[in-house]
Amino acid sequence: MTVRVKICGITTVEDALMAEEAGADAIGLVLYRHSRRYVDLQQAIKIKQVLSRDTLCVALVVNEERDFVNQVINHLKPSFVQFHGDESPDFCHQFNYPFIRAIRMREGLDVAHEVAQYKPMGGFLFDAWHADQYGGTGEQFDWQRLPLQRKFSLILAGGLNPDNVAQAVVAVNPEMVDVSGGVEQNPGNKDPLLVASFIENAKSVS
């Protein structure tokens, strides 16, 4: 099966259309105010409106209040909410809405224990750990820490770029790869050539 590609940190309608045209299966909208790729809810809605029905729209939130998550669900209606912070299983499950659970690979993390606590319809996204940042660090973690035998959908993130994504797909065999900074000219501004190269390199080996 061909790996799917998510281009995260999209901030403009133009970049969303460009990523979709290049073959992206999903785009990520960062609704986290402290991110350099932050978009507010109104901008997120504008971006989603231009996407085709075949392109997944993922809304990334970090340690948000319940009311705001409900606003995202009711007004943006994303394909998935991506919980990328320290949200508890109870918090994620209370909305009865499809979600992706991000797991930041801190040292000593018991992956099996973490996975057992959540039931995300969109799978688990594994990202590099950083004490002060929730994603978008451009840092890579040791892929060997991920289980080769698994009963969940795996999304690989963390330091991916056009040069290493093919290697990542071969090594991890993820259902999806996720990139943000690795295809940018500067934070929030995607480079069309890098986006196209990333998607082509990811899909060519899967």
Euclidean distance between CA atoms 204 and 114, whole angstroms: 32
Q: Is 92 a catalytic residue?
A: no
Token pair recorded at residue 180? 């943000």
90 in active site? no
Tokens of 16: 């969303």
For residue 61, is it left (φ>0), alpha (ψ between -120 and 50) or beta?
beta
- State the Cα–Cα distance between residues 26 and 125, nearest whole angstrom: 13
Catalytic residue, from 15, 25, 127, 178: name it: 127
DSSP H or E stretch at residue 99: strand 99-105
| CA torsion angle 100 101 105 111 (round to 10) | -110
Q: Which of 8, 15, 25, 92 is catalytic?
A: 8
- Is-contact 161 180, C-beta < 8 A? no
Residues annotated as part of the active site: 8, 127
